[in-house]
Every structure is written in C-alpha cells, then in structure tokens.
Structure 1
Amino acid sequence: MIHSVRGPVLEIGLDHAVVEVGGVGLAVHATPNTLSRLRRGDEARLATTLVVREESLTLFGFADTEERELFLLLQTVSGIGPRLALATIAVLEPDTLRAAIADADLAVLTRIPGVGRKSAERLVVELRDKVAAPAPATAAVGAGTSSAAAPSPVLGVREQVVEALLGLGFPQKPAEQAVDGVLAASPDADASVLLRTALSGLGRSR
C-alpha cells in the first residue's frame, strides 16, 4: 500500500491534486477541505491509501492519518465503497462522524449523500464498537503562502463545481441549487470556495 506521498504539488483540481514523487506525477483524490490546504508549487505530504480494482488503481489522500483510518473503517460496512467513504469524510469532520456513530445520531449521518436511514443505522450497528474516542489530528499537508491554483477553465466554474458535487454523490438538482445559491450571494467566489460553501450547505440541508 502507498502509505503516504510527499512532493511538490503540480496541479490542483476540484476532486484531486497531482503530487510529483520521484519524477512521477501521482493523481491523488481528496476532499475539498484537504485540497484547499494545498498550494501549487509547494511541497505537500498526504497520508494515502491505494484502492485496487480490477479495472483501476485509485490513490486517495488525506490531511492526516485519522481521516485515512476513518476512510478505511467506513469501507468495512456493507454497501460502502471508496466514493461514499470519501463523501462521508467530506461532509462530516472526524470528531462529528465519530460522535454521530457513538451516539446513534441518525439525523447527522443522513446528511451524507447516498446515506438514508437504513444505511445510517447500519453504520451505527457495524461501527459503534470500533469507533474510538477522537484522537488529536496530525497535520500532514504542506502549506505555503501562495494562492491556491484554480482548475483549468475547461468548464465554467459553476459547471465544474456541480460536476464535483455529483461525483461526491449528491443529486443533480440539489447540487445545482446549492451552487446557484452560493453564487447569488458571492458572484466572485472561486471554484474551491464555491465547492466548500455549497458542500457545507448541502450537508446542513439533509
């Protein structure tokens, strides 16, 4: 397993970053919160895990080892794969997720796109005894003073952000409404801010 990567950030997208390791650019999929801490040209260190499928090898990166362990733990629950596990971490902070599972707080767990009441109950049943008390986060992401690089404008900012939300499992109409709502309040918001704000609003509305 690729346990971590460290190197200069070559590119930052809405759902991944490219980190150069030994002359090779590795695409690392991550949450908007993790990506927002990266800066193009700065060195970053990400805790990672490699998901191997018959047709693909996908590298996922995390701000710290706690997020990575939660990502792996979530996938032990029947019906939860890497995409839903990443969406869970994107919507809920680790402490919030652990507390919701420990307290069987279904209202919080159903904020996650693709998780209904039955799935939330399954999360509680299968993980309640495995979730430890929240541990202090270990910073693993390099930070600089330069501005985050915006994704290549192949699509408009609105379309890019809607597409990223769809990739996290949100239905198209709520995703579009959330993005349009943020744009109405902040017309000049860049893609990363727009995505984080829309994601926050979608999580509260579920």
Structure 2
Amino acid sequence: MISSVRGQVLAISLDHAVIEVGGVGLAVRTTPATLATLRRGEEARLSTTLVVREDSLTLFGFATDEARELFGLLQTVTGVGPKLALAVLAVLEPDKLCAALAEGNITVLTQVPGVGRKGAERLVIELRDKVGALLPSASLPGVDHDQVRGQVVEALLGLGFPAKQAEAAVESVLADGGGDTATVLRQALAGLGRKK
C-alpha cells in the first residue's frame, strides 16, 4: 500500500493533482479543499491510499492521516465506494463528519450529493461507534470531558452505585478515549457489571 507521497506538484486539475515522485508523475485524486492547498512547482506531501480494481489502480490523497483513515472507514459501509467516500470528505471536513456521525445528524450527512436519508442512516448505524475509536474524543466538537464526567457520575449515583466506585468507572472509560455522555455511561455500566 502507498501510504503517502511527497514531491513536486506538476499539475493541478479539477479532481486530481499530478505529483512527481522519483521521476514518476503520480495522478492523485483528492478533494477540492486539498487541491486548493497545492501550488504547481512547489513540493507537497499527501497521505494516500491505493484502491485496486480489476481495470484500474487509483491513488487517493488527503491532507491528513485522519482524513485518509475516515476515507477507508467510510468504504466499510454497505453501498459506499471510493467515489462516494471522497465526495463525503469533499463536502464535510473530518471533524464535522465525525461529529455528525457521533450525534446521528442525518441533516448534515444528506448535504453530500449521492447520500439520501437511508444512506445517511446507514452511515450513522454502521460508523457511530467506530468514529470514536478513530479520533480521540477531544477532537470531537462539543465533547466536554468535565461535563461528561459530572453527568455520568451523577447518573451512576442515581442508580445506587457508591461514589468512589462510580468515579473510578468513569475515569477508566475516559482514560480509554471516552466519548459522549451516552457512550461513557454505557461503557461505565458495562465495566461496573463485570466487577459484580
């Protein structure tokens, strides 16, 4: 797998750039936002993934490793191929996409051409839990660790768990990456259930 390319930008088109690597010009398909950061004649580095089909080898490039990982993750969803995954990343920045998936925000996801309501629901169902593992919860917009900690501890106290036990369970989940309130509560309860 070709995980990154670095070299001089030879040409920039509407949907790809040509980057010279070791004397070979590689056509790298990417998003308009990434293309806008490239300048002909200057050196560039892109995180990449190679998609192999019977009739083609296509190199896709991204400004960050996180975007590349999201591209691969999107393709694990039924009915999502490389073109649609690239379209999703062209419309939604990685942070915005992760937030929409974590929150189940169908409206944001349907802004992508080719993603209808059913497709957006499928994306949420299949990726909601995986997105938290992909990016640290600190990078998910709207996730406040102190607020989550307080809400989950309060919920566990309301369920009758001792304060020290509740706090320890929540800290354990947050140390493993955490997430939103519902995710942390679910994981904390699972951890407390194992200790009984």
Measured against the shorter chain, the TM-score band is 0.5 to 0.7
Task: Output aligned runs, 1:184-195, within 5 Å.
Answer: none
Q: Point out where structure 2 has 5 or more consecutive residues left out of the alignment.
A: 140-196
Task: Output aligned runs, 1:99-138, within 5 Å.
Answer: 99-132=99-132, 134=135
Residues 129-150 of structure 1: CA deviation (Å, up to 9, x unaligned): 100274599xxxxxxxxxxxxx
The percentage of counterpart residues that share the same residue type is: 72
CA distance in 2, matches of 1:6, 1:37: 14
Residues 49-82 of structure 1: CA deviation (Å, up to 9, x unaligned): 0000000000000001010000000000000000
- Give the TM-score, by structure 2 length: 0.68
Match of 1:47 in 2: 47
Task: Output aligned runs, 1:1-206, within 5 Å.
Answer: 1-132=1-132, 134=135
CA distance in 1, matches of 2:132, 2:102: 9
Aligned letter for 2:102? A
CA distance in 2, matches of 1:104, 1:64: 24
Q: Which has the higher contact order (CA 8 A, sep 6+)?
A: 1
CA distance in 1, matches of 2:46, 2:109: 26
- Give the TM-score, by structure 1 length: 0.65
**May I ask how many residue pairs the two structures share in their alignment?**
137
SS class of match (1:49): strand
CA distance in 1, matches of 2:51, 2:72: 10
SS class of match (2:130): coil
Structure 1 moving runs of 4+ over 3 Å = 133-137
SS class of match (2:83): helix
Which structure has the greater CA radius of gyration? 2
CA distance in 2, matches of 1:132, 1:89: 17
**RMSD over equivalenced CA pairs, Å:** 1.4
Structure with the higher fraction of residues in helix conformation? 2
Q: Point out where structure 1 has 5 or more consecutive residues left out of the alignment.
A: 138-206
SS class of match (1:132): helix
